[in-house]
Amino acid sequence: MYEQLALYIDGNFTRDGERQQQDVINPATGVTIGKLPHATRADLDQALEAAQNAFETWRKSSPLDRSKVLRRVAELARERVDGIARNITMDGGKTLAEAKGEVMGAAEHAEWHAEECRRTYGRVIPPRAPHIRQITVREPVGVCAAFTPWNFPFVLSMRKIAAAIGAGCTLVMKGPEESPSAVVALARLFHDAGLPPGCLNIVWGIPSEVSEYLITSPIVRKVSFTGSIPVGKHLAALAAARMKRITMELGGHSPVLVFEDAEIEKAAQTLAILKMRHAGQVCMAPSRFYVHEKVYDRFLDGLTKALSTLTVGDGLLPDTNMGPLVRERRVHAMETLVSDSVERGAKIIFGGERLKRDGFFFPPTVMTEVSDTAKVMMEEPFGPVVPVARFSDTDDVLRRANSVPYGLASYVFTGSLKTSRYVSSNLEAGMVNINHFGIALAETPMGGVKESGIGSEGGTETFEGYFLTKFISEAS
């Protein structure tokens, strides 16, 4: 049974009434599996009002009580992992193993926020006179509007909800209409964990209309968005015009630097698996490959060998290693990137054409001799396409790696400590992986620089966007 999709407003799950509905499609089959109710203006107003009313109480709740709710959410997520994961695979396309990993990872995020929210300390500042006491306290920002994407609907929504709720804020969240089951499941977890009505509200609709309505509402004091850079800039501009705080987790186009002294076969194997997670639809996926010319052929050999072991198919099937793309538009995007690269001199050595079957399948694809001016080297591909280029000089490859406006993740493979230190301090990226993948854990901050975003989620930084600092100076 697929999730019973609904709005969640002021503690109630609602789906009936005179509301528009949208089809939810299984990307592995193209078949409609559910109907998603859109919020009316009255629903949005009710959600905002509920969040505002709930804030008056929730802001005064003790961090210990907030922590208890978040811990219970983590327990419930683990208990319900199988059903939630199955629905994530059905409406988002990732494999069942990936979906389970996402839910279990999100449970860790809930726990991390449960722990950290009890440590959101202020400061005592030494005064200039003995009868003065100076302190800072951290107060919750207020009602937040949050927008989350389809590629990791459960964990990315969990991070925003856990941070807002842990800080004493309340929120209205618009989840991804493409893959909504995870966000409805999350609302059920928080509801069952005892979160008071109105603290979390979930709405659906036309993204541009809902986001504009929520962000321009005077009730909303903070905006948090994960998604593409163009949409992020638009929402940030709406927020800036009203001086609202923002957290922006936006797209990336992560460079991969493979040096001649790296363990080449291991690097190729690691990168093949990492790159094809959720068919490459991951903001921090390795996506521009620069390989030292002395190991170029060996690396390509290892990469194509590793990719040829992957089975592409319906994520619900046990043998599947890579599922479909989320929608037909993403298949077109891959076709455009491949044909543009070939026109500029690239060679396809693996994959290259959509798979002729139902659903939205594009295979792992490797292109060599890709020009730095090809679209795929300049725009986030968000799919299973691997462009590989050569390099010979470290400073030159750093210049090429830093030449795009993106600055999210980056990957370096080298056997030299000196190279790893030099490159990691000169890469313009919010996160650097050296010889492995080690980011996006609950206890580590995730965030981008340049156009990839503002603020961090996870780590001790996670609450920064949800608190105001108030300074109090008191004379006795």
**Residue 111 contacts ligand NAD per CB under 6 A:** no
Nearer to ligand NAD, 250 or 346 (CB): 250
Q: How far apart, in whole angstroms, are the C-alpha atoms of residue 419 and residue 413?
A: 9
DSSP class per residue in 71-127? HHHHHHHHHTHHHHHHHHHHHH---HHHHHHHHHHHHHHHHHHHHHGGG---EEE--
**Residue 204 contacts ligand NAD per CB under 6 A:** no
Q: How far apart, in whole angstroms, are the C-alpha atoms of residue 203 and residue 215?
A: 14
Nearer to ligand NAD, 302 or 323 (CB): 323
**Residue 208 contacts ligand NAD per CB under 6 A:** yes
Nearer to ligand NAD, 98 or 178 (CB): 178
**Residue 147 contacts ligand NAD per CB under 6 A:** yes
In the three-class reduction of DSSP (H, G, I as helix; E, B as strand; rest coil), residue 204 is classed as coil
Residue nearest to ligand NAD (CB): 251
Region from 43-51, 143-151, 300-308, 391-399 binding ligand NAD, contact rule CB under 6 A: 143-151
**Residue 362 contacts ligand NAD per CB under 6 A:** no
**How far is the first Cα of the chain from the last one, in angstroms, to the nearest whole number?**
65
Nearer to ligand NAD, 92 or 302 (CB): 92
Q: What is the DSSP letter of 438?
A: -
Region from 77-85, 94-102, 173-181, 389-397 binding ligand NAD, contact rule CB under 6 A: 173-181
**Residue 150 contacts ligand NAD per CB under 6 A:** yes
**Residue 60 contacts ligand NAD per CB under 6 A:** no
**Residue 287 contacts ligand NAD per CB under 6 A:** no
Is 283 an active-site residue?
A: yes
Residue-wise burial string across 279-316, b where 16 or more C-beta atoms lie within 10 A, e elsewhere = bbbbbbbbbbbbbbeebbeebbebbbebbeebebbbbb
Is 178 an active-site residue?
A: no
User: Per-residue contact track with ligand NAD, 404 to 423, x per CB under 6 A?
Assistant: --------------------
Nearest approach in angstroms of CB 327 to ligand NAD is 7
**Which residue of the set 111, 249, 380, 464 is catalytic?**
249
Nearest approach in angstroms of CB 283 to ligand NAD is 3
**Residue 324 contacts ligand NAD per CB under 6 A:** no
Q: Residue 173 is encoded by which pair of tokens? A: 């969240």
Nearest approach in angstroms of CB 148 to ligand NAD is 8
Nearest approach in angstroms of CB 421 to ligand NAD is 28
Question: Looking at 39, 117, 283, 397, which residue binds ligand NAD (CB under 6 A)?
Answer: 283
Distance of alpha carbon 48 from the chain centroid = 24
**Residue 179 contacts ligand NAD per CB under 6 A:** no
**Residue 467 contacts ligand NAD per CB under 6 A:** no
Residue with tokens 């001086």: 243
Collect all residues with Cβ–Cβ distance below 8 Å to 126 and sequence separation of at least 6. 134
Question: Looking at 110, 250, 374, 397, which residue binds ligand NAD (CB under 6 A)?
Answer: 250
Using DSSP bridges, classify how beta strands 409-413 and 431-434 pair: parallel, antiparallel or unpaired. parallel
**Cβ-contact 367, 389 below 8 angstroms:** no
**Residue 458 contacts ligand NAD per CB under 6 A:** no
Question: Looking at 34, 149, 198, 465, which residue binds ligand NAD (CB under 6 A)?
Answer: 149
User: Per-residue contact track with ligand NAD, 218 to 237, x per CB under 6 A?
Assistant: --------xxx--x--xx--
Collect all residues with Cβ–Cβ distance below 8 Å to 157 and sequence separation of at least 6. 146, 148, 173, 175, 182, 183, 186
| Cross-strand partners of 202 | 8, 173
Element of type H or E holding 366: strand 365-368
Nearest approach in angstroms of CB 174 to ligand NAD is 7
Nearer to ligand NAD, 37 or 140 (CB): 37
Residue 173 amino acid letter: M
Nearer to ligand NAD, 91 or 260 (CB): 91
Question: Order of strands, edge to edge, in the sheet holding 220-226?
Answer: 12-14, 7-9, 200-203, 170-174, 143-147, 220-226, 245-249, 453-454
In the three-class reduction of DSSP (H, G, I as helix; E, B as strand; rest coil), residue 264 is classed as helix
Nearer to ligand NAD, 183 or 283 (CB): 283
**Which residue of the set 108, 283, 379, 464 is catalytic?**
283
Tell which residue, 412, 408, 411, has the closest CA to residue 457.
408
Nearer to ligand NAD, 178 or 314 (CB): 178
Q: Residue 195 is encoded by which pair of tokens? A: 């979160």
Nearest approach in angstroms of CB 135 to ligand NAD is 38
Nearer to ligand NAD, 226 or 419 (CB): 226
Nearest approach in angstroms of CB 209 to ligand NAD is 8
Collect all residues with Cβ–Cβ distance below 8 Å to 446 and sequence separation of at least 6. 249, 284, 430, 431, 439, 440, 456, 457, 458, 459
Interface residues with ligand NAD (CB under 6 A) are 147, 149-151, 176-178, 207-208, 211, 226-228, 231, 234-235, 249-251, 283, 329-330, 380, 382
Q: What are the catalytic residues?
A: 249, 283
